[in-house]
Amino acid sequence: MNTTSPHSPDAPRRPRIVVVGAGFAGLAFCHSFPKDRAEITLVDRQNHHLFQPLLYQLATAGLSDADIAQPVRAILANRRDITVLLEEAKSVDLAQKTLQLSSERLSFDYLVLALGGVTNYFGHPEWEEHAPGLKSLEDANRIRSNVLLAFEQAENHGPTQAEPGLLNLVVIGGGATGVEMAGSLVELSRNVLRKDFRRIDPSQARITLLEGGPRLLPVMDPALSEYTRKTLVEMGVEVRLNATVKSISHHRVETNQGTLQAANIIWAAGVKANPLLAQLGIPTDPQGRVEVLPNLSLPGHP
């Protein structure tokens, strides 16, 4: 009978597993991996797990931070075999099996990359300044602050003296995030804020949804796409299909269908893989994704 404790000096060294990313995939791995079978280190640049599907409700004042974010350490409180580090992964050396963080380097036997995606501005990173994406608490709070501030500024100046476009909101991207965002902005302006102001009518806010393709929700069934379009139009959203963005500047969006002035421009037009994958030395597709084997490992790195 083997009575050696896994923590005793004579016990065989447990494999070192480093997990990068405390999103759904990273936490699912940590929860499913048997206890005390490995030395697991979970690395994330945020100390909370974020339920991203509800970010649009935070951005439109329907929820608060605590409703969609939970501390990672609290989630893993019963897993004493997992160390959580508030760090940012900078680079990976697959040959040496090391991960460079902001302030230290970790060695690993196995590396789990669960990084998630980043906002894709399709070669125009300068657009981010004027059209924030929706991938983090910071993004959502920035959008909420800007949207509510626009209503306050319009109230200060009155309906006749307000800056043109102050109550115009443009959402770029007709996927799930863009559709949810546009609908939630209608709810905010038509219902939530309806009685809060005296000099302006929030329901007069103009909400425009731009989609570069021929239909909304392009990955869904066409019938659902058309139903969604009709519903948004009935709610008061101006839906523009086949609308490609040419440029974005301060309170201004130029498209192939004309120019829009809007104090709030929100980017929901797509995501791409985390840039960390690009320096692995493995071929990637145009979205920065790497090819994996059926077991999700990298070719040549089982």
The residue extents of the domains of the chain are 16-115, 125-269
pLDDT at 39 over 90: yes
pLDDT of amino acid 9 = 56
**Where does the pLDDT of residue 8 fall: very low under 50, low under 70, confident under 90, or very high at 90 and above?**
low
- 87 contacts: CB under 8 Å, gap ≥ 6: 43, 44, 45, 101, 102, 103, 104
What's the pLDDT at 11?
A: 62
Collapsing DSSP to helix, strand or coil, 46 comes out as coil
Assess whether 238 carries a catalytic annotation.
no
Considering the entire predicted model, what is its pTM? 0.90
- Across the range 189-195, mean pLDDT stands at 95
d(CA 105, CA 85): 12
Which CATH number, 3.90.1010.10, 3.30.420.280, 3.50.50.60, 3.40.50.300, labels domain 16-115?
Answer: 3.50.50.60
Q: How far apart are the C-alpha atoms of 127 and 232, rounded to whole Å? A: 26
Name the active-site residue from 87, 104, 129, 180. 180
Summary mean pLDDT of the chain: 93
Q: What is the pLDDT of residue 4?
A: 46
Q: For the domain bounded by 125-269, which CATH number is listed? A: 3.50.50.100
pLDDT tops 70 at residue 85: yes
d(CA 32, CA 50): 19
Q: What average pLDDT does the segment 240-269 reach? A: 98
Q: Quick one: pLDDT at residue 1? A: 44
- The two tokens of residue 192 are 């939530």
State the CB neighbour count (10 A cutoff) for residue 26: 22
Residue 191 pLDDT > 70, yes or no? yes
Two tokens, residue 152: 């306050």
Nearest to 37 by CA among 12, 2, 20: 12
pLDDT in tens, 127-160: 999 999 999 999 999 999 999 999 999 999 887 7
What percent of the chain shows pLDDT beyond 90? 85
The single-letter code of the amino acid at 75 is I
- Mean pLDDT of all residues in 188-205: 95
- Read off φ and ψ for residue 6, nearest 5 degrees: -65, -15
Contacts of 66 (CB under 8 A, 6+ apart): none
pLDDT tens, residue by residue, 154-188: 999 887 766 779 999 999 999 999 999 999 999 99
pLDDT at 7 over 70: no
With a CB cutoff of 8 Å and minimum separation 6, the contacts of 251 are: 130, 165, 261, 262, 263, 265
Say how far residue 209 (Cα) sits from the centre of its chain: 19
Extended strands (E) in the chain: 16-20, 39-44, 48-50, 69-71, 82-86, 89-93, 98-101, 105-107, 110-113, 117-119, 168-172, 206-210, 238-240, 245-249, 252-255, 258-261, 264-267, 271-273
pLDDT of 3 higher than 70: no
- pLDDT over 90 (residue 251): yes
